[in-house]
Amino acid sequence: MSEQLWTFDTRGSGDPVGRSLTALAEVGMITDVPAAADLIREREADGSTYVGRGTALPHLVGDAARSSGVLATRCDPTEWGDAEVCLLVFLIAPSVAALGEGRIESVLRRLVAIGLDAPSDRHAHQQTLQLLTELGARDIEREKETWA
């Protein structure tokens, strides 16, 4: 199973989760956008995936995921549980076990360290994007614009 890392910019879209899921389907990471949205809602019902620093880690773990990966989505300020986020880091895997395989677990640990060590939300977001870029993340284009 190959892991994939992506970045995406949904600012101005009005629906960062829906737009991100559609983009993931377009690049072949997920098979079913409505099923993926249901998985995220079900996980959030168990407890918010807000982790601080204006960042949430929505989980998309189940049959809707074709392979393991991470998508960092920049968005306009969006309510997430009791907080507001500007960065969504989607954890994508066909199963919980797949999250611990390959380099995804290592990437997640590094992202947590960034969140703990960064002096501000802005720095945390920049360092998250820099890490993913250094690890080979690809931009998902939006209307002929790339993440910048």
Q: Give me the CATH number covering residue 111.
A: 3.40.930.10
- Distance between CA atoms of residues 98 and 94, nearest Å: 7
What confidence score (pLDDT) does residue 144 get? 46
Residue 143 resides in a domain: no
What confidence score (pLDDT) does residue 142 get? 59
Residue 38 resides in a domain: yes
Sign of CA dihedral 107, 109, 112, 116: negative
Average pLDDT for 11-39: 94
Residue 103 resides in a domain: yes
Per-residue pLDDT tens digits for 35-85? 999 999 999 999 999 999 999 999 999 999 998 999 999 999 999 999 999
Per-residue pLDDT tens digits for 120-134? 999 999 999 999 999
Q: Greater confidence, 10 or 102?
A: 10
Residue 146 resides in a domain: no
Structural domain count, the chain: 1
The model scores a pTM over 0.85: yes
Where are the strands (E) in the chain, listed by range? 4-9, 50-52, 55-56, 59-61, 69-80, 83-93, 138-139
Q: How many CB atoms lie within 10 A of CB 67?
A: 15
Q: Which residues pair with 8 in a beta bridge?
A: 73
Structural domain of residue 67, as residue ranges? 4-138
Residue 134 resides in a domain: yes
Average pLDDT for 87-93: 95
Residue 111 resides in a domain: yes
